[in-house]
Amino acid sequence: MSGGPAVLSLENVCKTYGSGETRVEALRSVSLEVQRGDFVAIIGPSGSGKSTLMNILGCLDVPTSGRYLFAGDDVMRLGDDQLARIRNLRIGFVFQQFHLLKKLSAWRNVELPLLYRRARGRREKALAALGLVGLDHRVDHTPNELSGGQQQRVAIARALVTDPELILADEPTGNLDTTSTAEILAILYQLHREGRTIVLITHDPEIAAVAARVVRISDGVLTEEVPVALTGRRSGAARPRPRAPRRRAAPIADTGGEAASPPAGAAGPPEPRAQPAPVSPAGSGRPPGDRLWPRNSATTPPSSRRTVTS
Ligand code: ADP
Ligand code: MG
């Protein structure tokens, strides 16, 4: 396949904090490959090494040993400027806390990554990114004039505005109510459908299940959950995946974040084509046992996954 290198490739990555009695092996020989267009959830309990892994994937920290290639480039050989460039332009971060600047309007927040390279047409790009997350009508609002879900949409727009190779989302719904959680998951799902590469870090299996591929971390050790249909073949790095073409994202309607109405517009398709089913929030009559996430044939429910050691 001539699609170029994996977006990210970890080979036997270890991360150790401290020494002697306080030594902690936060990551133990972690190997992971994420291809363009993948949607991977990394799930694990508190203390399992998620943040450590996130910091390494996001080029915020470096491994103690092992190798990390970002789009084929060996991160440990790059200088600070080059790493900063990757962080600013090639990775879109979405955090639990949104990290928006309170005094800036939505579009000014979204514009921020573009200031780094003094890009032209910043306002247009910021408005377009806000349109993708259904916030065209809130571009001049400051964060305190927006609901939590809307603030996270602004943060996603900010992550998208540089057209990054990777979107790295760390507990992106951790501060949101059920309705907004469903909306944000629907947005991530749609971005995946449009060909984006997404790594989603969470402690919650219901959140992880939105992803096409789930990787579990426990005590710094990574294991891959393999869909039963693929039993007998290793998933992830060894599994050939179709290369999804990058398409322009269709806008997603805004329902007002924490508004009481169901996020039908947010989760539903902008046009009649194969799309995730509308996401039903809790309290809107979703049947017991039904889940938060949108799904279709590309999304394998967790019940049909099993865990194998990679
Ligand atoms: P998670 O994000 O899954 O909760 P972390 O990656 O934060 O897990 O932590 C993994 C392990 O590494 C834990 O045992 C934690 O106490 C330890 N750890 C994390 N950061 C540091 C640090 N800066 N110094 C020492 N130990 C750390
Ligand atoms: Mg953490």
Residue among 52, 159, 41, 185 at smallest CA distance from 98: 159
Q: With a 6 A CB cut-off, is 49 part of the ligand 1 pocket?
A: yes
Q: Ligand 1 centre from 202 Cα, in Å?
A: 15
Using one digit for the tens of pLDDT, what is the confidence trace for 249-284? 455 666 554 433 333 333 333 333 333 333 333 333
Asked whether the whole model's pTM tops 0.85, one would answer: no
Burial 18-56 (b: 16+ CB within 10 A, else e): eeeeeeebbbbbbbbbbbbbbbbbbbbeeebbbbbbbeb
Task: List the domain boundaries for the chain.
Answer: 34-60+79-90+164-309
Q: Pinpoint the alpha helices (H) of the chain.
A: 50-57, 80-85, 106-115, 122-132, 148-160, 178-193, 205-208, 264-267
**CATH for the 34-60+79-90+164-309 domain, from 3.40.50.720, 3.40.50.150, 3.40.50.300, 3.30.200.20:** 3.40.50.300
pLDDT at residue 282 in the model: 35
Judge whether 241 and 35 are in contact, CB under 8 Å: yes
The answer to whether 169 and 94 are in contact (CB under 8 A) is yes
| Structure confidence at residue 118 (pLDDT) | 80
Token couple for 5: 């290198």
Ligand 1: does its nearest atom lie under 6 Å from the Cβ of 16?
no
Ligand 1 site, residue 44, Cβ cutoff 6 A: yes
Pick the ligand that lies closest to the CA of residue 48.
1
Cβ of residue 34 lying under 6 Å from some atom of ligand 1 = no
How many whole angstroms from 204 Cα to the centroid of ligand 2? 13
Please tell me the distance from the alpha carbon of residue 179 to that of residue 254, in angstroms, as a whole number.
12
Cβ of 54 closer than 6 Å to ligand 1, yes or no, is no
Ligand 1 pocket test, pick from 51, 61, 96 with the greatest ligand atom count within 8 Å of Cβ, gives 51
State which of 16, 21, 23, 24 you would mutate to test the pocket of ligand 1, scoring each by most atoms of that ligand within 8 A of its C-beta.
Answer: 24
Which ligand places an atom closest to the C-alpha of 47? 1
Q: Which atom of ligand 1 is nearest to the CA of 53?
A: 6
Measure 246 CA to ligand 2 centroid, in angstroms.
31
Of 46, 40, 34, nearest to 204 (Cα)? 46
Q: What pLDDT sits at residue 225?
A: 82
Residue ranges in the chain modelled with pLDDT below 50? 1-2, 233-245, 247-249, 257-304, 309-310
DSSP structural state of residue 32 = E
CA–centroid distance, 201 to ligand 1, in Å, is 15
pLDDT at position 277 is 36
